[in-house]
Structure 1
């Protein structure tokens, strides 16, 4: 009597992937890249520890789909970063993975050629090479830690990591974050709830044991030390923003009550801009005013910015893609980016050192 198959009923195929060790050997960390990562992480940690008066600003395209455009954006951002470095620490947003509500393009790692060929190994090579290039330019980078396997391939090049609103509640992502080498920001829930982020912050600082992969790609029991640099990211939710002074004050109270870090980062996009990229500059202005009026909890910002304003759908003919325009969420263009950050730096240049002195 033939045995009925009970295993892998819905698996069409599996392909072995390059191991993290092999990828790192092909695209190693140069000394200059290593120095950029270490300096960037130390600077963010010092800001979170209130040893550095600056704000850190994670800024860049919603997602990376064009390496050439990413380099052009990075070159412009590096010049601006040097100009405002006494007030703002600019961290380049380099998002390779996109969570989807239903279906859609899942990012450069999953589908680097944007044609449903899903050449994931190529995507990992392209992503790691770009991160090495950015670090060699002297730009610290930030990304969203979405797939729990990916950090073994890329985390050594990341200054700051985000856990998105869809995954902040996930035990897998909380455990993974407890072992990340970078500081990590947890976004509030898509409904605006802060509780999921607070629970994540309580979890991430603790030791965890879970299944993961090691540098040779083997399944391993991973034991973490806990990550002391978890903090909240306010991104709005439930159709409402939560960056205003009242929402920030309520967040401070909730964080204090839970006895977790009261450091607050504000995401100028998503529900905080009502998904209108142009409104991000108004959020930046509002945060600047809150700090001028005495706020002490806001230490960081996130902005979705690209060479050109807006976004576009991915066309069937990829030659029709508009250069420098996002293919996911809409972004502000470079001119608005430059003007907004310069204005913020000018207005806060003499206030932030006084704020830190008052906290001491």
Structure 2
């Protein structure tokens, strides 16, 4: 005779074998309540998204530039940078749409500091709840300064906490091929740039754009922090980001033409952004100026597919290791990839704007 009662197997030694703790995390709604979206910030975010969509739809002839630190680790220095960038954005607004690069999550090949959200105190305390709230506050502060922000979506839960403060999103080279990130991108409220693979394969990004443009249903969380089935309508403003690969650049005219052909063959708009850093600059931050100059010259000679660039820039050039005592960090200097300094950033963008103003009429269709 068998029992009709369910057979409960003891969980000990079966599940969560390698998990040590489940620390509670405030829900997205609770975090929003602690750091509410102000009306001025909302207006800046919405205007930024609209301007980016207009550029991608060829309703705005400007080039957009996602400019800023490789990663945010010091909010004070980050806001110092934002105020400077806002002044430059106003000065160059007829030729360039400047979007501040605000990256809080850093993918790692092996180990290393995973970013401000994961470890805001940079001491391996991993106070993620604190990091998320401070990240949201920083994004709100940047918007209230008057700048739209661009970030990388790495953790699929983070957009529920931060998405209302973001104008442009990148999906990185390591995650463009990920089904999870393609599904997430299909529901994001921003235009999304998909980077080519780390090996330089543009087809990965093209396939990602196609996938994200379609509706999806997948597991996620709701604003209340409950597990939910997320259903999306698809995101039609996906585009390719060329970042080089396998130590070789891919921003030259031939590489851009190959990317255009791949997009056209897939039935997608030929919208291409060039990341001036990473393999495109051989990880030498000073070479970013040459990459930007080449991109602008391609536009001057008639290219219409190049719609944006990315630049890693900070108050101080180069980068620095993270010391055991974070108080010893050099102000305004990157702790991840090396960046160009502020003076170089101003010069790069002013030079680009001077060229773009001259060709603006021919880019209006």
TM-score (norm 1): 0.98
Distance across 2 between alignment mates of 1:129 and 1:230: 27
Q: Which residue of the partner structure matches residue 134 of structure 2?
A: 126
Alpha-carbon distance change, 2 to 203 in structure 1, aligned in 2, over 3 angstroms: closer
Q: Which residue of the partner structure matches residue 31 of structure 1?
A: 39
* The one of 159, 169, 178 aligned to 1:170: 178
Distance across 2 between alignment mates of 1:2 and 1:200: 42
Distance across 2 between alignment mates of 1:304 and 1:19: 32
Q: Which residue of the partner structure matches residue 22 of structure 1?
A: 30
Q: Deviations over 1:43-98 (max 9, x none)?
A: 00000000001011000000000011001100100000000000000000000000
Distance across 1 between alignment mates of 2:331 and 2:108: 23
Alpha-carbon distance change, 338 to 216 in structure 1, aligned in 2, over 3 angstroms: same
Report the CA distance between 1:8 and its aligned residue. Answer: 1.0
Distance across 2 between alignment mates of 1:2 and 1:68: 50
Query: Aligned to 1:302, what secondary structure does the other structure show?
Result: strand
- Kindly indicate whether residue 295 of structure 2 is the aligned counterpart of residue 287 of structure 1: yes
Unaligned runs of 5+ in 2: 1-8
Q: Which residue of the partner structure matches residue 140 of structure 1?
A: 148
Query: Aligned to 1:57, what secondary structure does the other structure show?
Result: strand
Query: Aligned to 2:61, what secondary structure does the other structure show?
Result: coil
Alpha-carbon distance change, 239 to 3 in structure 1, aligned in 2, over 3 angstroms: closer
Q: CA RMSD in A?
A: 1.1
Distance across 1 between alignment mates of 2:267 and 2:166: 28
Query: Aligned to 1:231, what secondary structure does the other structure show?
Result: strand
Q: Deviations over 1:280-300 (max 9, x none)?
A: 000011111111111110000
Distance across 2 between alignment mates of 1:313 and 1:352: 42
Q: Which residue of the partner structure matches residue 274 of structure 1?
A: 282
Alpha-carbon distance change, 4 to 299 in structure 1, aligned in 2, over 3 angstroms: closer
Q: Which residue of the partner structure matches residue 113 of structure 1?
A: 121
Unaligned runs of 5+ in 1: none
Structure 1 stretch 52-61 or stretch 253-262: which is displaced more? Answer: 253-262
Alpha-carbon distance change, 14 to 294 in structure 1, aligned in 2, over 3 angstroms: same
Distance across 2 between alignment mates of 1:29 and 1:2: 46
Q: Which residue of the partner structure matches residue 307 of structure 1?
A: 315
Q: Which residue of the partner structure matches residue 82 of structure 2?
A: 74
Query: Aligned to 2:294, what secondary structure does the other structure show?
Result: helix
* The one of 219, 230, 241 aligned to 1:222: 230
Structure number, greater radius of gyration = 2
Q: Which residue of the partner structure matches residue 355 of structure 2?
A: 347
Q: Which residue of the partner structure matches residue 98 of structure 1?
A: 106
Q: Which residue of the partner structure matches residue 184 of structure 1?
A: 192
Q: Deviations over 1:185-204 (max 9, x none)?
A: 00000000011101101100
Query: Aligned to 1:178, what secondary structure does the other structure show?
Result: helix
Q: Which residue of the partner structure matches residue 243 of structure 1?
A: 251
Alpha-carbon distance change, 22 to 293 in structure 1, aligned in 2, over 3 angstroms: same
Report the CA distance between 1:2 and its aligned residue. Answer: 8.6
Report the CA distance between 1:254 and its aligned residue. Answer: 1.1
Query: Aligned to 1:8, what secondary structure does the other structure show?
Result: coil
| Equivalent residue runs for 1:145-156 within 5 Å | 145-156=153-164
Point out 4+ residue stretches in structure 1 off by more than 6 angstroms: none
Q: Deviations over 1:148-199 (max 9, x none)?
A: 0000000000000000000000000000000000000000000000111011
Tell me the matched-pair count. 357
Distance across 1 between alignment mates of 2:75 and 2:11: 51
